[in-house]
Amino acid sequence: MDLVNVVTHAIESAIKTATSGGFAEASRVVLLEAATKLVSALQKPEDAITKLAYWPSQFMATRTLLELGVFNIIVEKGRVTSSELAETTKADKILLERLLRVLTAAGYVAEPDESSYAPNGLTKALATRPMGGLVEAIFDGGMKPMALLPEFLRKTGYKNPDDQADGPLQYGLGIDKVDLFTHMVDNDHKLLSSFQTFFEADRGSRPAWVDWFPVKQKLLDDSTKPVKDDSILYVDIAGGRGHDLLAFKEKFAEYPGRYVLHDLPQIADDQTLQLGDRVEKIGFNFFEDQVISGARLYYMKFIMHDWSDEKCLIILKNVTASMKKGYSTLIIEDFILPVKGCALLPAMWDMEMMSFLSAMERTERQWQELLTKAGLEVEGLYPPPGDGTGIIVTRLKE
């Protein structure tokens, strides 16, 4: 019993420190992994498997309540009853109670009294546009393909999916032989909007790369490669709504040079997308068009993991053709999978890549092989200070 008290005290102390923001990111991830192992050790195997089998009900309940705007209502009111929610949403009171029962049990909504609900940190996060977009994108676009993935693999003889136009997504959604992005642009603008919002939130709470990577030392403070006011400092390739570009621009505002955001015309031409001075938006197709030439830095986040090696080499050719040898640097932000002991998040993300795009996350060896084929020299592969994305710094071979 003494041991139980000691462990309980240690856990309570760690909880207080964590909730006050007292842990650095790397320490937080280490402790989270330790806590997960503790839960696994205390949980009976049969109970763990039962919870795994019933887990989709949590995601379904979250998506339904998100559609009804329930999280926003709870956050706005501070405390609300199921009757009040039913009156506001026009949904059945008993249905709402059943859905919310799942989420109060899972810890996503507080339950101060019978049929009464209040916000906690998770509720507040779900009420934000980026987190809502994440849930919508993964649920609406991915649940059917993921559910039918075992059937698809059985029919294809358990081959590793590698055809972006004829894979689990097309099988699951029953769509024509086109890749996800073409399908969204041509047929599903709602899903496209959800994904663009999701891309703003795909980093989660993990620090942006500009906050942990030595950007000035590695990329900017080189007197042999000066950037003038009219030169191009930074190009964000397929940068969506420009959230990563803006983070870089704000962090290093004292550096001269122009910025370019490349993406599909319907995104780049969006007049509501205001990125401030020194930024030019240019529509393009990275399979067909070269990026703007002669920039100091080119940046690609979560692009390579969407495509097979064959398609990646086409994309990279349209980037390397515009790079200036000895001057330009290509920065790739993506997962760098370890060969052993992979964290759960990137491992699950790899399954999403398989389901959505017949693509995959890559190991360090696979990154080296791909980038070498593209005519690039890898200066370094830098893992993140946690379980998020790493940074790969590459330049044209001398």
Query: Where would I find the H helices in the chain?
Result: 2-19, 25-42, 45-54, 56-67, 70-77, 82-89, 93-106, 121-126, 129-147, 149-155, 168-173, 180-187, 189-201, 209-212, 215, 243-251, 265-268, 309-320, 344-357, 364-373
Tokens of 2: 């003494």
- Strands 110-113 vs 116-118: parallel, antiparallel or unpaired: antiparallel
- Kindly write down the DSSP assignment for every residue of 251-309, as one continuous string: HTTTS--EEEEEE-HHHHT-TT----TTEEEEE--TTT-PPPSS-SEEEEES-GGGS-H
Inter-residue contact 296 to 234 (CB < 8 Å): yes
What distance in Å separates the CA atoms of residue 184 and residue 283, rounded to the nearest whole number?
17
Instruction: Give the three-class secondary structure for 21.
Output: coil
Read off the DSSP letter of residue 367: H
Catalytic residue list contains 305:
yes
Q: Give the number of other Cβ atoms within 10 Å of residue 296's Cβ.
A: 22
Please list the active-site residues: 305
